[in-house]
Amino acid sequence: MLNLRKKILVAIDGSPQSDKAAEEAVRLASGNRSQFKSLVYALLVLPNASSSTYTDFVPAAPVTETDTWNELRRRIFYVVEKCAAENDVPLEMIVEYGEPAEKLIDFARREQIDVIVIGSSGKGFLQRRLKGSISHKVASNAPCSVYIVRG
């Protein structure tokens, strides 16, 4: 069996569940002992920017263009950056806007990802029925394997 470089996508949002998923993604990547190091993509999907109305003279700047963004970004990506550095795993951090499940699936298709690692919030049956589950949507529609990490 060839042990080639794998592309691993991990969903990041700063929650304890996503931190666990980040640790698991790095563990998977560091387990590849071949000369081809696996690459971890950490994807943060922010909600779409609020649409401006005719009463808005100056639309609000996206979160990534505010003064507090660097500190917020550092806190959200802290665990995955730390784990990747400690295990010498290549890491790419990406921020996109939109619906999280759609963006994760689109990114996996575009970059030909081998596995998506995502945390599960453990929502109850009723919340899952009302709001939907991102991990369920991703697992049902992803073009690759999906590893769901329980919080």
Q: Average pLDDT for residues 60-64, to the nearest whole number? A: 60
Query: Which ranges of the chain would DSSP assign to H, the alpha helix?
Result: 16-30, 69-86, 100-111, 125-131, 134-141
Distance CA 113, CA 107 (A): 8
Cβ atoms 29, 89 nearer than 8 A: yes
CATH of the domain at 78: 3.40.50.620
pLDDT of 74 higher than 70: yes
Residue 103 lies in a domain: yes
For the chain, the farthest-separated pair of C-alpha atoms sits apart, in whole angstroms, at 62
Cβ atoms 105, 143 nearer than 8 A: yes
Q: Average pLDDT for residues 69-80, to the nearest whole number? A: 88
> How many domains is the chain built from?
1
Residue 1 lies in a domain: no
Would you place residue 3 in the very low, low, confident or very high pLDDT band (cuts 50, 70, 90)?
low
pLDDT at 66: 66
pLDDT of 1 higher than 60: no
Q: How would you class 150 by CB atoms within 10 Å of its CB: exposed for 0-12, middle for 13-18, buried for 19 or more?
A: exposed
Residue 19 lies in a domain: yes
Greater confidence (117 vs 70) lies with 117
pLDDT tens readout for residues 22-61: 999 999 998 866 667 889 999 999 887 555 555 555 556 5
Rg value, the chain, Cα: 17
Cβ atoms 93, 84 nearer than 8 A: no
Residue 2 lies in a domain: no
Residue 56 lies in a domain: yes
- For tokens 């081809």, name the residue: 36
pLDDT tens readout for residues 89-141: 999 999 999 999 999 999 999 999 999 999 987 655 545 554 468 888 999 99
> What is the pTM (predicted TM-score) of this model?
0.81
Neighbours of 5 (CB within 10 A): 14
Distance CA 83, CA 60 (A): 34
Domain range enclosing 124: 7-150
Greater confidence (57 vs 12) lies with 12
